[in-house]
Structure 1
Amino acid sequence: MKKIAIVFAAAAMMLAGACTSKEPEKTVPQEAEQAQPATEVVANQGDGKVVELTDAKQYAPGVKVSQLTILDFNAVWCGPCRQLAPVFDELAGKYAGRVTFVSVDVDKFGELFESYKLGQSIPAVLFIYPDGHTAKYVGTGDLLPASKFEALIDAALAE
């Protein structure tokens, strides 16, 4: 009986870790923290498909983007990440030409995940705005169903 209680408590803590706050944390890049000068991202800009990240430097903190860019930090073993993936793909098509959608595998790009100070829970979604500020959403609470995610994107595009 004691083992069941421990397993239940551990499961509850894991579920709580995937939850998110209602308000995203917005940050403004600090020039002093940038190890490299910011670069303009020009490739794969909103072509209607999710881009799989291949180079962490492309979206390092402080990067300059020409349009709203959304990074989805995920892992193949993460159940909530697998729930979010088809929504992310669908929205990439819907916002083609206006928003760049990038999938980031935290098992391959853990340092990039840590550099944005997103905590330890995934999925974590980061909006990077052309002016350099970011908005963070951890867990699926603000992102699912798809209508919630769309509302966040529409609000971001209106800024």
Structure 2
Amino acid sequence: MKKILVFVLLFSGLLLAGSCSGTGKNKEVAQNSTEQAINEKVLVKPLSQTEFLQKVSDYASNPDDWKYLGDKPCVIDFYATWCGPCRQMSPIIEELAGELEGKVIFYKVDVDQEPELAGAFGIQSIPTFALCPMEGEPHFMMGAMDKSAFKEAIEKYLLK
């Protein structure tokens, strides 16, 4: 009986010692990841409904009159984290945000986190992209596409 108790205590001690050393390493990795994220520029900004009303258009106060509030045209990616085509488009959007930095603002709206915002624009299929020019109504595009087609649309609707 004593041998079993000693064995259990030794085994428990080994488990605790192993998990403690892993935790320190994980903290270091997490700290490095956080520092790296702070140093990296966010090219595609997440957008809540409140931020949308302040930065893009106050559709709640003016439902019949679209007025873009930004100082540069923007692309809004309506997506969901579980959506395969949305994940396929994510690196393309990041690349274009880098290439068009200073000319076009890129936002993303998680439709699961912001269902009211998605509903206000009738988003029923994802990914859906709203291309918002400085003047005029936004142009909506649905579905995954290749980078060149997406860039061509941005140039046509936002950078003419």
After the TM superposition, which residues 46-125 of structure 1 pair with which residues of structure 2 at under 5 Å, given as runs? 49-54=43-48, 55-58=51-54, 59-60=56-57, 61=59, 62=66, 63-118=68-123, 120-125=124-129
**Letter of the 1:52 counterpart:** P
CA apart distance, 1:57? 2.2
Aligned length: 109
Secondary structure (helix, strand or coil) at the match of 1:72 reads strand
Task: Give RMSD over aligned pairs.
Answer: 1.8
Q: Which runs of 5+ in 1 are unaligned?
A: 1-46
Q: Which aligned runs of 4 or more in structure 1 are off by greater than 6 angstroms? A: none
The structure that has the greater radius of gyration is 2
On the 8 A contact 2:73/2:103 being kept in 1, the answer is yes
CA apart distance, 1:106? 0.4
Q: 1:66 to 1:56 in 2, by over 3 A?
A: closer
CA apart distance, 1:132? 3.8
**Letter of the 2:134 counterpart:** P
- Bigger relative contact order, structure 1 or 2 (CA pairs below 8 A, ≥6 apart): 1
Q: Following the alignment from structure 1 to structure 2, what is the Cα–Cα distance between the partners of residues 146 and 124? A: 15
Report % sequence identity: 34
- Determine which structure has the larger strand proportion and give its number: 1
